[in-house]
Structure 1
């Protein structure tokens, strides 16, 4: 078919008319905008009923990123349905969906039973702490955080930190589900009515993806720091890492999930470290180490000849490597060396001494690295202690 739908969030900064849903009927030669809300609201997800291509579900997302701040959510965010191939749209609300303001939403339709639709909805009024809105943790009767995304894991949701293999606290009672906090909602009647099955919703602005096993409507995956898997229609989740009783992939922060339509044990995930593949429904993973998938924030070169290049990589530290080598094999992975951790951002080299390299990462971290000794020294500015109040 030549019919393709695209959900466009628009460009990152400032209002723009490129936001909306687009459709092509000629394989991409021309496009028509079929749904537009306003200059501040784009679309982030779209799913099709496999038994009727005229039935579509889509998620709109009102957001704004500025140099200092981020606003994710507002009256433009919503869950939509079309029964005429995108000509007209109905906003889905009430009938079991959460009240209040929405943020980012993920949606998917079961391929084996199109009556079943899942929507992961960020809900809650502006200013409400994430921990109280189902963002992976919520207060549990004063007994510490409760992890809705791992309530089927080794600790039954009473998290002791990632990787913990401590026995479950069977004496603790999980908190009650709260639709007002958002989470994963399920419809068994093509979106007419909904019920909350879990408050699991890892950091929605960063993840927010739900995928349904093509052969079993009760097997559901949601993206997150670790990806989480449910085998009972979203009632319980176990993270696909040590804390969930599985072997972890090579890197955290899972953003993309693909399930083989012909073999649902075959999964692929895209994360901040690249691509991982599983052949046993996420119990073990193979890291595909033959792809250059790093996201470079910044590139710097020093003054020697041949010059060396330094980069900060998203969630993969800071690195340096040569622009040329004497080897007939060219520049290899082994020619590169790490000079900093975290989210590598800007790099700089002393123009009079190429052995001194500067790196930075999140939270204002800045370091000076000496290539001769391998020593790293923090140079992060420190405001010092605030002066004592008069009379204190």
Structure 2
């Protein structure tokens, strides 16, 4: 299967959109809202159609062995068979009609390819809703331009508004009326804005009403619907803004986060947070409802209440020393009376403290087994499960064999052995309750931070990839410039978020510089030290270290 290169396309679109924006700027006052940017993209499309190079096509160089961060999953069980949709942080929406054997990109020619959530109408499985703008608010997250709708299974899409929400955390479609849709909009990542909260349409997206709202800094993040009564919904609200110098935090004076409930389809709402941590400690909250017993819900709370003191030499995810008390962080709460009262059920132990590292604001997802109210999954650095109603958690089955940093999970309500996972590595599926997993390596696209080429022939392309590190792939022109094959990419100097520069006279010399100040010179002509175990399990001897004045493969530059 041939696919478009996400990186190349993004670079081209950025340049073209900038040109289009300049053209618009001469006609209208400068704006930064999403409608302005979306119109700029439409101008770019018009320019492309008029270009003498419009027939030129991008060629996919790879990596063929790496995918990218997936954010959500939706399933359409159609008369002709199951279709799976996988949404990605920067590479749009992909679909498979053959249980993951092949994948097709369906959202790459759009104003944005950053996806927050996808949802299928159960009463009309050809209707697909796509909420743009990843809601996990990484520094590398891209903003969206609202919500799109397809009524033909993803062949075509129509923009249906909510342009300036920028991030969308959840979409819920009424089970019997496909025109009724609810959207949990989390809002701008870096600034305050009023286009956040819960929005509802009753006419298939032609018009929207903001049915629940707190303030310009408090967005809606997760939302569930009572399977027995679609007029009953629960939403989690989170008050936050991302500062330029720090990850999002609960700041002094924050009191608006929590869980809220409506019993009349969004006309009125009441707080349903009794028993959760105090408002000033509530970070991101994920919620889910037990379909087997809708009075039971679970809340996965990132609790900012101070917890244990730091351990000796303890560091955070960025290797910075931790001097203050760790927050209590990942906690699971349960209600058995439809949100009237909550009680903490998870243990306060090291497993939960480290559940989400030091960045629980990235995760915040929880799922309840659709047939068992006491089997609960939480997503953090790992994929975890509790089989005793949230009291104790452990790593789920063989999920250590798949990529870490989990953002989405779908459990088949008719066969709970079938599980689909969305994480920083991409999309994975299991048909035996996690004993074995299949990776959708041909879906999605690696999230590149930057790219560089060396002067060799054939050239090597270098890049750093989100949560993967630095890789390089060969640009093989031997079959002609119009037949460049995609290839697997191999390890390269540097790490995640590194910039690369290659010596123009000696392509073996590669300089890499990371986000956190590490600066390295690598000589690829010097063999790398042998590490790990051989195929037979015998311990491999380490390479003889170079003499003090001998050649070194890597040298740190201070």
Q: Show the counterpart of 1:112.
A: 292
CA-CA distance at 1:324 after TM superposition: 4.4
**Where does 1:225-304 land on structure 2 (aligned, <5 Å)?**
225-240=381-396, 246=398, 248-303=400-455
**Where does 1:108-147 land on structure 2 (aligned, <5 Å)?**
108-125=288-305, 128=306
Q: Show the counterpart of 1:92.
A: 272
Deviations 1:192-216 (A, max 9, x none): 1222110447332121110011111
Task: Identify which of 25, 31, 51 aligns with 2:202.
Answer: 25
- Once residues 264 and 286 of structure 1 are traced to their aligned partners in structure 2, the CA distance between those partners, rounded to angstroms, is 16
Worse overlay, 48-57 or 321-330 = 321-330
CA contact (8 A) 1:213 1:259 kept: yes
Deviations 1:43-97 (A, max 9, x none): 2111111111111111111222222112323322211111121222212232x32
CA contact (8 A) 1:10 1:18 kept: yes
Q: Show the counterpart of 1:343.
A: 496
**Where does 1:185-264 land on structure 2 (aligned, <5 Å)?**
185-199=333-347, 200=352, 202-203=355-356, 204-240=360-396, 246=398, 248-264=400-416
SS of residue paired to 1:48:
strand
- Once residues 26 and 302 of structure 1 are traced to their aligned partners in structure 2, the CA distance between those partners, rounded to angstroms, is 54
- Once residues 201 and 527 of structure 2 are traced to their aligned partners in structure 1, the CA distance between those partners, rounded to angstroms, is 55
Q: Which has the higher contact order (CA 8 A, sep 6+)?
A: 2
- Once residues 122 and 340 of structure 1 are traced to their aligned partners in structure 2, the CA distance between those partners, rounded to angstroms, is 35
- Once residues 386 and 464 of structure 2 are traced to their aligned partners in structure 1, the CA distance between those partners, rounded to angstroms, is 36
CA contact (8 A) 1:80 1:92 kept: yes
CA-CA distance at 1:23 after TM superposition: 2.0
Q: Show the counterpart of 2:255.
A: 75
Structure 1 alignment gaps of length 5 or more:
133-137, 140-144, 146-179, 382-392
SS of residue paired to 1:13:
coil
Higher helix proportion: 2
CA-CA distance at 1:353 after TM superposition: 4.3
CA 1:278 to 1:192, structure 2 compared with 1: closer, same or farther past 3 Å?
same
CA 1:17 to 1:324, structure 2 compared with 1: closer, same or farther past 3 Å?
farther
CA-CA distance at 1:380 after TM superposition: 5.1
Q: Show the counterpart of 1:40.
A: 217
- Once residues 359 and 59 of structure 1 are traced to their aligned partners in structure 2, the CA distance between those partners, rounded to angstroms, is 42
Task: Identify which of 184, 190, 199 aligns with 1:13.
Answer: 190
Task: Identify which of 509, 512, 515 aligns with 1:359.
Answer: 512
Worse overlay, 341-350 or 15-24 = 341-350
Indicate the RMSD between aligned Cα atoms, in angstroms: 2.8
Normalised by the length of structure 2, the TM-score is 0.54
- Once residues 235 and 387 of structure 2 are traced to their aligned partners in structure 1, the CA distance between those partners, rounded to angstroms, is 25
SS of residue paired to 1:310:
strand
CA 1:291 to 1:373, structure 2 compared with 1: closer, same or farther past 3 Å?
farther
Normalised by the length of structure 1, the TM-score is 0.75
CA-CA distance at 1:303 after TM superposition: 4.8
CA contact (8 A) 1:40 1:64 kept: yes
SS of residue paired to 1:65:
coil
SS of residue paired to 1:248:
helix
Task: Identify which of 333, 336, 351 aligns with 2:487.
Answer: 333
- Once residues 107 and 326 of structure 1 are traced to their aligned partners in structure 2, the CA distance between those partners, rounded to angstroms, is 53
CA contact (8 A) 2:464 2:495 kept: no
Worse overlay, 368-377 or 48-57 = 368-377
CA-CA distance at 1:114 after TM superposition: 0.7
CA contact (8 A) 2:382 2:399 kept: no
CA-CA distance at 1:262 after TM superposition: 1.8
> Across the two proteins, how many residue pairs are aligned to each other?
329
- Once residues 33 and 345 of structure 1 are traced to their aligned partners in structure 2, the CA distance between those partners, rounded to angstroms, is 42
CA 1:263 to 1:311, structure 2 compared with 1: closer, same or farther past 3 Å?
same
CA contact (8 A) 2:494 2:520 kept: no
CA 1:371 to 1:118, structure 2 compared with 1: closer, same or farther past 3 Å?
same
Q: Show the counterpart of 2:229.
A: 52
CA 1:327 to 1:28, structure 2 compared with 1: closer, same or farther past 3 Å?
farther
